[in-house]
Every structure is written in structure tokens, then in C-alpha cells.
Chains A and B, each alone.
Chain A
Amino acid sequence: MSAALAQSPVASADPASWLAGVRVRAQAELPALAHAIDHDGLYPRDVMAGLGEAGLFSAHLRGESRLGRSDLGMAIAGMAEVAAECMSTGFCTWCQDASGWYLENTENVALREKLQPGIASGAVMAGTGMSNPMKTLSGLEGFKLKAQRAEGGYVVSGVLPWVSNLGPGHWFATVIQDAEDPRHLMFAMVQCGQPGVEIRQNARFIALEGTGTYSILFRRAFIADDMLLADPIGDAVKRILPGVILLQTGMGLGVIKACIGLMHESNRSHAASNQYLPRGPAYYDETLEQLRQDIAVLAQTPTQTDDGFRRQVLTARLRTSELALDAAQSALLHAGSRGYLAGSPVNRRLRESYFVAIITPSIRHLRKELAGLAAH
């Protein structure tokens, strides 16, 4: 461990020191690994454990936070520090944070007590299989997991494609539909490798290869009643979604910050010609700061469920995606051919920004939801 890490002020309850501790750890460990994580499929388990020790996964969890309170805004800020070095690890952080958030908002206290401390500390890794439920609830697809009632739980079959931050023994949350009654939904925590639950990695992606992204096969898997976050689901998903979506902005904020850094770097040698580009780092700095402030305000009340708040959350998420795409493209325009080389930092940032834009809720999904809200 480097001297910087040994001195990192992670145990402090002061938010600025806490954030500095996360930043120091991310900057010390991730630059050397980012390419291997992004391209070669190295899952950053040790880095994640270290970030958990630094308190990164607990800021938004009442009983676990080192900040003396639940602070979703600080969770987003911490994730952004990580994503600024390596968005794959920022994405794994989001998965971990989202799982902790589901447990934070469940009425199943025993399940929260069983899983949340480990997820908060990084001792237990967790993902989130909520893409399919979110799309289904928006009318974009159908539920992929179906259940039949059995003694003490449900027997579940189906496939969930593309769930991340997974590995043997990792946990994830998802929504399951009753095969007999399509209106009956249940929200559950499931463990990879439990009987009938297998993960398979059959596909390759253009980036983020090391994020532990798998298809999950349910073959008549038994999900016990005590693993249910909510049954029936009621308004549980509606309550957790604003927080989950706001947390995602941490990935985008980090990528945007990194792109601004790349623009500055290019300007050291090409400022004379880059000044003719339509936008430079000062524009992105200012726009990022405004976005960051708006997100911080929304993160103060993450469990609101009214349409006005939902619209603001979706808009902030959309702005994050669009600014990430814009900033990554601008970073390439600033760098010129040097940025177009395989393995250049700009190359990775471009692919990362696309991910911010397509991960559920994607830009098209967000625009559909916003159009629906506008029509009301």
C-alpha cells in the first residue's frame, strides 16, 4: 500500500475528507489497471474491496454511513471520483450502491441486516438486475423471470441478460412475475450460484469487459420468502428508482470530468488550433458544475415519488448522458489523431460515454418517459 493510501483520511466523518480519501485511493490504484479492466476483462475485486474499506459504498445508507447520515449526494460524488479514473469501476460502484439502496428501502429488516453491512463494507459484492423490470414497467419489454408459488417461497425460471458486478457468490436484486397472475410482482435478492441460479458470460462488449457482466440463468430456482425485498412489490420500485437513477449520474460526472482533463492536456500543445473548436474546457467545466449542483439538490430528497420530482430526476440523468457524449466527442476533437489511436485515453472515454448513454434508462428510454410525463 502506498504512503498516500496509508494516510488517506477515510475514517473521518467530514465529507470533504471522506471524498478526498476515495479520490486518493482511486487515483492511486486505478490508472494502472484501467486498460486491463476495460479491455482485458480484469474484474477489479481488490480495488472494490479497498473502496469499500474507504466507505465508498455506504455513504447513502443510514446505518452504515461514516458521514453520520445517509447522503446520496456524497455517494454520487464518490462514484464520480472513481469513474473519472475508470468508468468500469465506477459502474461496479453503482451496482454495489444500488443494491445497498434496495436494502435501505425494504421493509424486510432481517434481509437488510443480513446483507447490507457486507455490501456497504465491500466484503460482499452485489449487482442489480433491474434493467428488465425498468424497461417492462415503461412498456418496452416483458418480464423475463416467471415464478410459481411453492412452500415457503417461489420457483423461478427465465434468463436475465446483462447483469453486472457479478461473480460466484455475489448477490443481485431483481423483479419476478407470477406466472399465474401477471399483475403480481415480487422484488427479491438472489445469490449467484445458489441452486438453480447460474451465471454465464457468452458475449463480449466494446468496453467495460471487466465489470462482471453475465447472463443469469434461473432453472427452477427456489427463492425463499425471506429473500424478498417486497411481495407484492407495491410502490417499492417507484420509491427506489429516483435514488438509483440519480446514483447513475456519478458514472457520467466522472467521465465528463476526465474528458475535460483530456481537453486541457491537448491544449498544452494544440491550444492555438483548438481555440477554433465550438466548445472548450471552460464551457464543459461550467456546464458540469451546474449539472453537479442540480443533482446534489435532487439527491437531498431521493425517495420523493411525485411526477414533478420524477421529471427533474429523469432530466438530470438525460443531461448527464448527453453531456458525457458531447464531452467525449470534444475530447477527441481536441486530441485529433492522437486520440484516435488504439489504446489512447480518449478512445476509452468515448466508449465509456456511450455506455452512460445506453445503460438502462438509456437516452431513448428517458426521452420516452419524459414524453409520457409531459403528456399528463
Chain B
Amino acid sequence: MPSVIVTDRQGLAHVLTGRAGDSVMQLARAADLPVIGECNGSLACATCHVVVDPAWADRLAAIGEDEEAMLDTVFSLTPTSRLSCQIRLSPELDGLRVSLPT
């Protein structure tokens, strides 16, 4: 099963394993990481913001207009910021690295 490595705000890495199609938001919440995902992935908030490791950023699906609009409201925006609800696990993304914004 594919996994994603989420680095929390204290710098601790959490290896989360899920099924293909699971979102990083779902897995992070299930692991009790502070990812809120208030709109449950309907692209109506930015409370599941994560920063993707630059080495992985280009391998993700392109950012859609709604996701871009939500990300544009984030104070701590980085060039590789994404909404974790929009990142779906797949064999191609096995080992993906993201971190929680500070």
C-alpha cells in the first residue's frame, strides 16, 4: 500500500499508509495530526494546507482553479503549498513527503 511521510511542526516524521485514492488529509486526520480539513475536501477552506517537498511537487496533479484560489488566502504560502485534500495516494506517489506549515 502506498504511503506518505508527513513532517509535523516539531520536525517529527510520520509514515502514513493508506489505500490508493485516499487523500493525505484523510490519513493525516486519522493519525491525529493537526490537519483540520473543515470542508471535508470540498475546496471551501484552506485548513488542510501542507507544503510538499520540492522533489515531489512536480509529480502531483496540477493545481485546479478552486484549489489555487483557496491557497491564495494562506498567510504562510510557499511555492509548493497544496491542499492535502487534493493529494490522492497512488503507487506513483508512494513515499511522497509533505510537511505541515509553521
Contacts and interface: CB of A to CB of B under 8 A. Distances in A.
Q: How large is the interface on A (under 10, 10 to 19, 20 to 34, 35 or more residues)?
A: 10 to 19
Contact of A215 (B36, B44, B75): B44
B42 A159 contact: no
Provide the main secondary structure of the chain A interface.
strand
B53 interface: no
Contact of B39 (A157, A161, A217): A161
Interface stretch (B3-11, B20-28, B65-73): B65-73
A202 B74 contact: no
A158 B72 CA distance: 8
- Ranked nearest first, the 6 interchain pairs of A and B with the lowest CB-CB distance are A203-B42, A215-B44, A161-B45, A202-B44, A159-B73, A202-B43
Nearest to B39: A161
A141 B36 contact: yes
A219 interface: yes
A218 interface: yes
Contact of B73 (A158, A162, A203): A158
A69 interface: no
Given A141-B36, A202-B66, A217-B69, A157 B42 contact: no
Contacts of B75: 146, 157-158, 179
Contacts of B46: 158-159
26 contacts: A146-B75, A157-B73, A157-B74, A158-B74, A158-B75, A159-B44, A159-B45, A159-B46, A159-B47, A161-B38, A161-B39, A161-B45, A161-B47, A198-B69, A200-B44, A200-B69, A202-B39, A202-B42, A202-B43, A203-B39, A203-B42, A215-B44, A217-B70, A217-B72, A217-B73, A219-B73
B71 to A, nearest CB: 10
A162 B69 contact: no
Contacts of A144: 45, 47
Interface in A129-153: 141, 144, 146
Interface in A236-273: none
A218 B38 CA distance: 17
A203 B39 CA distance: 8
A219 B70 CA distance: 9
Contacts of A200: 44, 66, 69
**Most chain A beta-carbon neighbours within 10 Å: one of B38, B46, B72, B73:** B73
A218 B75 CA distance: 10
A48 to B, nearest CB: 24
Nearest to A216: B73
Nearest to B34: A142
